[in-house]
Chain A
Amino acid sequence: MRVTRLLKLMAVLFAISLTAAACGGDDDSASVTTSECGSDLGVEKGDSVTDLSVALVAPSAADDVAFTQSMVDSLTRLGIEPQITDGTFVVEEAAAAIRGYAEDGVNIVIAHGTQYGGSLAEIAPDFPETSFIWGTATDTQGLANVFAYHPEADQGGYVNGYIAAGLAGDIGVVGPVEAGDAVAYVEGFAKGAQANGASAPSIVYTGSFSDVALATTTAQAHADNGVGALTGTSQSAVGAVTVATANDLPWFGTQSNTEAWSTDLTVASQVYHWDVVLKDMIEQIEGGTLGGEAMSLTLENGGLVMEFNGCYDLDSDIRDAAEGVIEDIIAGEISTK
C-alpha cells in the first residue's frame, strides 16, 4: 500500500516536472526571452529587496533606451526607487552629485559610468560608511567601500553577430567610442558574425556616445555600401535605427531592448540585467561588507539576457542555432573574446 502511494506521488511529481519543462520551452532559460509582439516593454516593479536608501548618478538620460535605462530598469526589478541624477556627461557635475548623496547620508550610491572612477577614488575614502557601486569597471581600485561591475558584452555581441550573419553577408556596425563595453560588444559581434560565415563587419566608431547625427550619417554610409544588417550601441544608436527602418534593414540592439525604437526590425537585443549583481552586492552591504569585489554580467548568471523580438519573423533554424550558441557560450565551449 505504502509502495503504491509512493509510486503515485512520484508519478505526480514527474508529471508536474514534465509540464513545467514543457511550458518553459525555449524561453525558460534565464538568458533568453522572447517579447510578445505589441506588448508593453515597461519593466514591472519587483518586491523591494532592501530598506537601504539608494541613489543613482548616470551620464545619459534615465530613459535613453541604452546604458542608463538598463540600470533604472534593473533597480525597478529589485523594487528600488532610487534618487536619480542623470545627464551628467560632465564628470565634475557627476562628482558633485556623488559627493552630495554621500553627504546626505544615502546608504548606497551607484556611479554608473566608467569615467566616474577618478572622482570616486577621491570621494569614497571620505565616506567610509557609504557603499559606492561603480561601473563599468573590472576592479574596485583597492577601495574597501566600492563594488565594481561590468558586462561581458562580447557574449551577447557574439550571439547577435551570429544571428546577423544568418540574415546578411555584409553587416555594418555603428560604434560610439572605442572603449568599455562598446568595444567588447562590437568585437564580440564581429567574431560571432565571422563564425557564421559572414565577412568581417564594417565597423565605424563615431567618436561620440551621444551624437545622433554622426550615428545617422554612419549608418547611412553603411546602407549606401550595401550592408544587409546593422547594429550599434550607446544612446546615439537611435540615429542608426532610423536609418535601419528607412532602409528596411534588420537591427540588433544592446544594453536595453531597442524594440522601443524599432518594433518591426529589431531582431534581438542583448539586455543588461544589472539586478543580478546588484542583489548580491546589496546582500553583502546589509551584512556589513561595503565593497571590495568586482562582479560581471554574463549569459551564465542571467545578467545578460538575449531578448528576441516577437514581432520579427526570425527563421526558426537561425533562432535554434542562436540558442545553441548561447548554450555553448555558457558551457565555455565558445570563446567570445
Chain B
Amino acid sequence: MSQFFTLSVLTATLATAIKFAVPYLLASLGETIGQRSGVLNLGVDGIMLLGAFGAYYTVLETDSHLLGLAVGLIIGLLMGLLYAVVTVFLHAQQGISGIGIFLFGLGFSDLLFQELVGSVKPVKPLPTLDKLPGVGGIFEPLVDIDILGPLVFDHDLMTYTAFLLVPVVTWLLNKTTFGMNVRAVGENPQAADSLGVSVARTRFIAIMFGCVLAGLAGATLALQLAVFQHNLTNGIGFIAVALVYFGAWQPRWVMAGALLYGLVTATRLRWQSLDIIPQGASDIAAMTPAIITILALVLLASRARGPAALTKPFTRH
C-alpha cells in the first residue's frame, strides 16, 4: 500500500481520474439540461456511439481532429432532433424511446464501422497541450512542473472544454431566461404554459443541448482512445444518466460524481498494477466503481428531489 501513497503515483492517479471523467462529464452535463426540462434520455449511450464513430471515421479519412469533433457534434444534433420529435411532439414514452435510440446507435454505429472501415485501425489521439501544433512549445515547460504539470497542463483541449462547461451550464440554468424556462417546464409544465412559456420549444432546445453534448462526449472518447470498435462506450452513457441523479441535477455535483467515478476506477486499476489488489480479486475490483456509484446514489440521491415533471410528456388541455 505504501507504494501508492507516493507523490508521483498519487499525482498520476489523479491525472488519470481527470482524463477518465471527461466523457462522463460531457454526457451527464447535457443530460442534466434535458432532465431539468423534464425529459429523461436513456439513449445517451447510443448517441455517444454514433458521435464516436462519426468523429473516428472523419479523423481516419481527413486526419483533422477539429473536423472529427464537429462531426460528432452534428451527429448529436441530428439525433437530438429525432429524439425531440419522438418525445416532445409525438409524446412517446421517454424510457422506451430512449432505449430505442440506444439500440439504434449501438447497431448502426457497428454497421457503419463494418461497412466503411472493416478492421480496427488506430488514429492519432487528441493532442495534449504540449503537443498542439504550432503552440505546443509554449506549454512544454508547464507540463514538467511537479504535481501541477500532470494534473493541470497534461490534458487535451476537450478536457478543459468539459470542465469549463460546468460553470457555463450552471449559469445557463440559473441566470438566463432560457434556464428559468427549462426549470419551469421541468417542475410544472402546465403552470409554465399558462404563463406563456412554450413547453415544447423549451424541451426541444434542452434535448438538443443534451444530445449535442452526448455526441461530443462520444467523439471525445473515440479521439482520446484513438480507436473505434463495436460498443466502444461500454455503458458510459448509462453511467452518465446515473451521475445526473447522483449530482442532484446540479452541474457542480454532477462534475463531482464524474470525478469520483473516474477516481475510483483509476485507483482500482492503479492498485491492481501495484499488486495492492491481489490477482484473484480482479472480478470484485472491477465491480468497485459501479458499487460505489450505487451506494452514493442510495445515500445522496434519496435526499435530493428531482424535477417534478421528469419523464412526464406534456399535453396542452
Cα of A107 to Cα of B277 in the assembled complex, Å: 47
Q: Are A178 and B225 in contact (CB under 8 A)?
A: no
Taking the closest CB of chain B, its distance from the CB of A64, in whole angstroms, is 7
Chain A residues near B313: list those with CB within 8 A: none
Chain B's closest residue to A186 (CB) is B279
Q: Are A69 and B230 in contact (CB under 8 A)?
A: no
Q: Are B110 and A261 in contact (CB under 8 A)?
A: no
Instruction: Say yes or no for B162: interface residue by CB 8 A criterion.
Output: no
Which of the segments B68-76, B248-256, B262-270, B301-309 contacts the partner chain? B262-270
Instruction: Say yes or no for B61: interface residue by CB 8 A criterion.
Output: no
At the interface, is chain A mostly helix, strand, loop or mixed?
mixed
Cα of A206 to Cα of B265 in the assembled complex, Å: 10
Q: Are A239 and B119 in contact (CB under 8 A)?
A: no
Question: Quick one: which of B222-260 are within 8 Å of A by CB?
Answer: 225-227, 229-232, 234, 236
Instruction: Say yes or no for A208: interface residue by CB 8 A criterion.
Output: yes
Cα of A241 to Cα of B123 in the assembled complex, Å: 12
Query: Which residue of B9, B13, B16 has the most chain A CB atoms within 10 A of its CB atom?
Result: B16
Chain A residues near B230: list those with CB within 8 A: 60-61, 87, 210
Q: Are A218 and B120 in contact (CB under 8 A)?
A: no
Cα of A225 to Cα of B16 in the assembled complex, Å: 13
Q: Are A212 and B273 in contact (CB under 8 A)?
A: no
Taking the closest CB of chain A, its distance from the CB of B88, in whole angstroms, is 32
Write the A126-153 contact mask toward B (1 if CB under 8 angstroms, else 0): 0000000000000000000000000000
Q: Are B114 and A61 in contact (CB under 8 A)?
A: yes
Q: Are B282 and A65 in contact (CB under 8 A)?
A: no
Q: Are B118 and A214 in contact (CB under 8 A)?
A: no
Instruction: Say yes or no for A289: interface residue by CB 8 A criterion.
Output: no
Q: Are B114 and A211 in contact (CB under 8 A)?
A: no
Taking the closest CB of chain B, its distance from the CB of A186, in whole angstroms, is 9
Given A61-B114, A63-B119, A87-B230, verify A217-B20 contact (CB < 8 Å). yes
Instruction: Say yes or no for A117: interface residue by CB 8 A criterion.
Output: no
Which size bracket describes the interface of A in this complex? Answer: 35 or more
Question: Quick one: which of A198-221 are within 8 Å of B by CB?
Answer: 202-208, 210-214, 216-218, 220-221
Question: Quick one: which of A155-192 are within 8 Å of B by CB?
Answer: 172, 175, 177-178
Taking the closest CB of chain B, its distance from the CB of A161, in whole angstroms, is 16
Question: Quick one: which of B115-132 are within 8 Å of A by CB?
Answer: 118-122, 125
Cα of A169 to Cα of B252 in the assembled complex, Å: 44
Given A63-B118, A64-B120, verify A204-B231 contact (CB < 8 Å). no
Chain B's closest residue to A187 (CB) is B279
Instruction: Say yes or no for B144: interface residue by CB 8 A criterion.
Output: no
Instruction: Say yes or no for A273: interface residue by CB 8 A criterion.
Output: no
Question: Quick one: which of B11-59 are within 8 Å of A by CB?
Answer: 12-13, 16, 19-20, 23
At the interface, is chain B mostly helix, strand, loop or mixed?
helix
Instruction: Say yes or no for A1: interface residue by CB 8 A criterion.
Output: no
Cα of A205 to Cα of B19 in the assembled complex, Å: 20
Instruction: Say yes or no for A267: interface residue by CB 8 A criterion.
Output: no
Q: Are A212 and B232 in contact (CB under 8 A)?
A: yes
Chain A's closest residue to B11 (CB) is A224
Instruction: Say yes or no for B221: interface residue by CB 8 A criterion.
Output: yes
Given A172-B273, A202-B275, verify A217-B122 contact (CB < 8 Å). no
Of the candidates B13, B119, B125, B285, the one whose C-beta lies within 8 Å of that of A260 is B119
Of the candidates B12, B20, B225, B286, the one whose C-beta lies within 8 Å of that of A206 is B286
Taking the closest CB of chain B, its distance from the CB of A283, in whole angstroms, is 31
Chain A's closest residue to B228 (CB) is A212
Instruction: Say yes or no for B311: interface residue by CB 8 A criterion.
Output: no
Cα of A63 to Cα of B114 in the assembled complex, Å: 9
Cα of A65 to Cα of B20 in the assembled complex, Å: 25
Given A207-B285, A213-B20, A213-B225, verify A221-B273 contact (CB < 8 Å). yes
Question: Quick one: which of A275-326 are within 8 Å of B by CB?
Answer: none
Q: Are A246 and B125 in contact (CB under 8 A)?
A: yes
Chain B residues near A115: list those with CB within 8 A: none
Chain A residues near B125: list those with CB within 8 A: 242, 246
Chain A residues near B236: list those with CB within 8 A: 213
Chain B's closest residue to A41 (CB) is B119
Which are the 5 A-B pairs with shortest beta-carbon distances?
Answer: A207-B286, A205-B282, A63-B119, A204-B272, A224-B12
Residues of chain A touching chain B, judged by Cβ–Cβ distance below 8 Å, are 60-61, 63-65, 69, 87, 89, 172, 175, 177-178, 202-208, 210-214, 216-218, 220-222, 224-225, 235, 238-239, 241-242, 245-246, 260-262
Excluding A61-B120, A213-B23, A242-B226, 15 further A-B contacts by CB distance (< 8 Å) are A63-B120, A64-B119, A69-B119, A177-B283, A202-B275, A206-B286, A211-B234, A213-B236, A214-B269, A217-B16, A217-B20, A220-B16, A222-B273, A224-B12, A239-B227
Q: List 27 A-B contacts (CB under 8 A).
A: A60-B230, A61-B114, A61-B229, A172-B273, A175-B282, A178-B279, A178-B283, A207-B283, A207-B285, A208-B234, A210-B230, A210-B234, A212-B234, A213-B221, A213-B225, A214-B269, A217-B19, A217-B269, A218-B272, A218-B273, A221-B13, A224-B9, A224-B12, A235-B229, A239-B225, A242-B125, A242-B226
